[in-house]
Amino acid sequence: MGGEQSLTVEGDSKDLEDRVNNRTLRPVSSTFKEFMTEGWDSQEPQQHALESSSYTPSRLQSLGKRFPGERLVIPAGSLKTRNNDCDYAFRPDTTFAYYTGLGEDFEAGAVLVLNPVANGSTESQQGQTHTATLFVHPRADQSTEDYYRSSQYGEYWVGPRPGLAELSAMTGIHTADIAQLADALGKDVGTEEGAVRLRVVRDADPQITQMVEDTRWENGCDDPDFNTASDGKLHEFAAEERMIKDSYEIAEMRKAVNATKLGFDRILERLPKVADKPRSERMLEGAFNSIARERGNDVGYGTIVASGSHAPVLHWMRNNGTVHNGELLLIDAGVEVNSLYTADITRTFPVGGSFSPLQRKIYETVLSAQQAAFDIAKPGVTYSDIHHTVMRVLAEALHDWGILPVSVEESLSPSGQQHRRWHACGCAHHLGLDVHDCAQARYESYQDAPIEAGMIFTIEPGLYFKENDLLVPPEFRGIGVRIEDDVLMTEQGPEWISAGIPKSVEGVEQWMAQQAARKTSSAE
- 34 vs 95 pLDDT, higher one: 95
In 3D space, the residue among 165, 81, 91 whose CA is nearest the CA of residue 434 turns out to be 91
- 296 vs 523 pLDDT, higher one: 296
Long-range contacts of 136-140 (CB under 8 A, 24+ apart): 136/107, 136/109, 136/110, 136/163, 136/164, 136/167, 136/175, 136/176, 136/177, 136/178, 137/107, 137/109, 137/110, 137/163, 137/177, 137/178, 138/163, 138/164, 138/177, 138/178, 139/163, 139/164, 139/166
Distance set, CA 85 to CA 9, 82, 110, 297, 502 (Å): 19, 8, 21, 23, 44
pLDDT at 519: 55
pLDDT at 122: 83
Residue 245 has pLDDT above 80, yes or no: yes
Q: 424: burial class by Cβ within 10 Å (0-12, 13-18, 19+)?
A: exposed
> Helix, strand or coil for residue 217?
helix
Residue 319 has pLDDT above 50, yes or no: yes
**Within a 13 Å sphere around the CA of 382, how many CA atoms are in the beta-carbon half?**
11
Q: Please, what is the average pLDDT of the chain?
A: 93
Condensed to tens digits (0 to 9), the pLDDT of residues 470-493 reads: 999 999 999 999 999 999 999 999
Q: Please give the angle made by the CA atoms of 174, 59 and 256, to the nearest 5 degrees.
A: 105
Q: 324: burial class by Cβ within 10 Å (0-12, 13-18, 19+)?
A: middle
pLDDT at 42: 82
pLDDT at 7: 40
Distance set, CA 321 to CA 41, 45, 140, 258, 346 (Å): 51, 44, 45, 28, 18
pLDDT at 25: 63
Sign of CA dihedral 499, 505, 507, 513: positive
pLDDT at 24: 56
pLDDT at 127: 84
CB atoms within 10 A of CB 521: 8
User: What pLDDT band is residue 235 in, cutting at 50, 70 and 90?
Assistant: very high
- 364 vs 10 pLDDT, higher one: 364
Residues 6+ apart with CB under 8 A from 175: 133, 134, 135, 136, 164, 165, 167, 168
Distance CA 413, CA 216 (A): 49
> What is the phi/psi pair of residue 144, to 5°?
-115, 155
> Helix, strand or coil for residue 30?
helix
User: What pLDDT band is residue 304 in, cutting at 50, 70 and 90?
Assistant: very high
Residue 336 has pLDDT above 80, yes or no: yes
Condensed to tens digits (0 to 9), the pLDDT of residues 414-445 reads: 999 999 999 999 999 999 999 999 999 999 99
pLDDT at 121: 81
Q: Comparing 124-133, 312-321, 333-342, which segment has the lowest mean pLDDT?
A: 124-133
pLDDT at 15: 40
Distance CA 360, CA 369 (A): 14
Mean pLDDT of 245-266: 98
Share of the chain above pLDDT 70, in %: 94
Residue 124 has pLDDT above 90, yes or no: no
pLDDT at 1: 52
